[in-house]
Structure 1
Amino acid sequence: MGTGSVAVVVPGHITAPSWDLYELSIACAVFGTPQRDLADPWYELRLCGTGEDGSGPAGAGFALRTPHGLDDLVGAGTVIVPSVPDACVEEGEPLPPALITALRRAYDSGARMVSLCNGAFALAEAGLLDGRPATAHWMHTAQLAERYPKVRVDDSVLYVDDGDVLTSAGLTAGLDLCLHLVRRDLGAHIANQLARRMVVPAHRPGGQAQFIDLAVPHADDDRLSPVLDWARAHLDGPLTVQDLARRASMSPRTFYRRLHAATGTTPLQWILNQRLGRAQSLLESTDLPIERISELSGLGTANNLRHHFLKQFGVPPGHYRRAFPPGNQP
């Protein structure tokens, strides 16, 4: 297995109905469905069973059998733990020792380690989150922090990218993290195209709040959408909260509150995220100089672009362009 290989830990038995299937299916959908028109080769997916026999009370769920076992985690470029049994989280039942050993061996062999939802408990048990920032579903973060005090648990974010170890909150946050991995590996253009095919938002930053107040009247949502679409089309010009609020026929305070409720971020941060996304796209799809890209994305000077780009993505624009050069996109 090479750097584009993804090994997913699959439990032997899943209780139905269960959210565990959702996180598992996310990993399979993103990494296991070839998108050769976007990138060829695509990821190589391996489903690795934990060695459980799938036994359980009749009618309690179903067994899963996989062609690979825990030994196949070693050598993978990325290892994903979508979930662990609820009893291990809520009742403190021990995780399978063979799983913990395999996770440590995979990390020692150079794998990028990823957890979705309560899969963070497995990474924490393996000691891979000690001293690191991490998250999980907000319903379980208190238990994670209590059980593993060396982990710097953050219950307010969608996902945490700590380089070679990444964790996410539950359900759709797991999809955000998987798309983030594609973005890291293959670039923003391919990640955006994949998100479009999956009919999901192209990019939600990991620092966005886990729980967003969705009790926003539909009429207000309808007033926000055209304003945000207009803003995306005018990123190269000055954009202020006052201007956007006026277009939405709201006071600045009401606009701030409505946008934060709908997106989990502030208007200024939303605008900055859109501008950085525009800069990413231009870096990948054009050979325009950095100065011109900073102007078209509304970030002003090249120094301002470099500052925000480095803070958001961990690399300067020039390094990003060398990793995803123009002309490589389908």
Structure 2
Amino acid sequence: MMRIGFVVFPGFQILDLAAMTVFEMANVVSHQAVYELHLVSEFGGAVTSSAGVAVHTEAFDEQEYDSVIMMGSIGIHTPSPGLLGFLQQAHSGSRRIASICTGAFILAEAGLLNGLRASTHWRHARELQRRYPKIKVEEDRIFIREGKVWTSAGMTACIDLSLALVEADIGLDASRTIAQRMVVYHRRTGGQSQFSALLTLEPKSDRIQTALTYARSNLHKPLSVEDLADVAHLSPRQFSRAFRAETGQSPAKAIENLRVEAAKSMIETARHPIDVVARETGFADPERMRRAFIRTLGHPPQAIKRMARMQTH
């Protein structure tokens, strides 16, 4: 049985406890006690979350854990020496250690992320990089695995992280079944974006929103300005002017971002050849898709494919 310690502190973000449910369900679907779960804190007893709800915890002790998962908070928590010491000991004595959301700041303060890639909530990623320049912060990643150290984005990304940990332990079928039981999509890959290209556009009118929704559902089509304007019931000139005013982007740039997002998802979650991905997402050919990836993501499709393959091994 694998012993897991979930580490909390006063003011921790209570949504992070959803990570525990993944391991609980792993026991259920396995029909045996695969994991032994412990909620721990420096002094034990009741620890109050940022929502004002207290949970009962065990105090740090000398027992070893297979895995230690550091919870995060809405802001950036200043860890005590006792907490840092516990994590440093856990890093040397446990099979793996992980952080959720701003828990990455606590691992970083303990010196456990130096020289590694790491992720955290997108709102705090640049601050993590500023405070700890020895870390390579990848602010748009759902989760990252660097050897025995795992870090994840914030909020519901704790579920993706936990599903990936379970998958590494007992297999893909189990993690897929758990996701179904929890009524969530099967876990997003670690390299998948924290953002949605459609959400970042935030159009203000129904006409522009309708055109964007149509575009996302028809990326395999040419999607000219004339096509989108027709969907929005505007002239091409009116549509282009309204689109830029509401989203801050040209229609062409927005469509390219949507295509890149869809292509990246296909590359990360399936084994389609690059030319098939380019065709299905509306790029005329792989070379145009490659240039769009470099403009938008800074990496060609082949690099994204390699990173996704590394995350699954």
Provide TM-score, normalisation by structure 2: 0.61
CA RMSD in angstroms comes to 5.4
Correspondence 1:9 to 2:1: no
* Correspondence 1:258-273 to 2 at 5 A: 266-273=254-261
**In the aligned structure 1, how far is the partner of 2:255 from the partner of 2:165?**
26
Q: Give the structure 2 partner of residue 150 of structure 1.
A: 134
Aligned CA distance change for structure 1 residues 162 and 34 (closer, same or farther; 3 Å): closer
Provide TM-score, normalisation by structure 1: 0.59
The letter for the 2-side match of 1:104 is: H
* Helix, strand or coil at the partner of 1:275: helix
- 1:130 Cα deviation from its structure 2 partner: 1.0
Once the two structures are superposed, what CA deviation does each residue of 1:140-187 show, in whole Å capped at 9, x if it has no partner? 556645653423446x53545254344334324545655676798739
**In the aligned structure 2, how far is the partner of 1:121 from the partner of 1:177?**
17
Aligned CA distance change for structure 1 residues 141 and 271 (closer, same or farther; 3 Å): closer
Once the two structures are superposed, what CA deviation does each residue of 1:175-212 show, in whole Å capped at 9, x if it has no partner? 5655676798739x9499649923799679336389x7
**In the aligned structure 1, how far is the partner of 2:202 from the partner of 2:101?**
24
- 1:50 Cα deviation from its structure 2 partner: 3.5
Unaligned stretches of 5+ in structure 2?
291-298
Q: Give the structure 2 partner of residue 102 of structure 1.
A: 89
* Correspondence 1:40-79 to 2 at 5 A: 44=35, 46-50=37-41, 52-54=43-45, 62-65=54-57, 71-74=63-66, 76=67, 79=68
Correspondence 1:131 to 2:115: yes
Unaligned stretches of 5+ in structure 1?
325-330
- 1:128 Cα deviation from its structure 2 partner: 2.2
Q: Give the structure 1 partner of residue 72 of structure 2.
A: 83
Q: Give the structure 2 partner of residue 230 of structure 1.
A: 217
User: For 2:192, which of 205, 228, 233 is the aligned residue?
Assistant: 205
Q: Give the structure 1 partner of residue 296 of structure 2.
A: none
- 1:7 Cα deviation from its structure 2 partner: 3.1
* Helix, strand or coil at the partner of 1:268: helix
Q: What fraction of aligned residue pairs are identical, expressed as a percent?
A: 21
- 1:271 Cα deviation from its structure 2 partner: 1.2
**1:159–1:207 contact (8 Å) kept in structure 2:** yes
**1:30–1:179 contact (8 Å) kept in structure 2:** yes
- 1:9 Cα deviation from its structure 2 partner: 1.9
**In the aligned structure 2, how far is the partner of 1:29 from the partner of 1:196?**
8
User: For 2:24, which of 23, 26, 32 is the aligned residue?
Assistant: 32
Aligned CA distance change for structure 1 residues 251 and 181 (closer, same or farther; 3 Å): farther
**In the aligned structure 2, how far is the partner of 1:270 from the partner of 1:147?**
33
Q: Give the structure 1 partner of residue 293 of structure 2.
A: none
**1:70–1:99 contact (8 Å) kept in structure 2:** no
User: For 1:312, which of 287, 296, 304 is the aligned residue?
Assistant: 304
**2:72–2:99 contact (8 Å) kept in structure 1:** yes
Once the two structures are superposed, what CA deviation does each residue of 1:63-112 show, in whole Å capped at 9, x if it has no partner? 423699674433x4xx43222697842xx6435244222332256x4x2x
**In the aligned structure 1, how far is the partner of 2:160 from the partner of 2:211?**
23
* Helix, strand or coil at the partner of 2:38: strand
**1:8–1:46 contact (8 Å) kept in structure 2:** yes
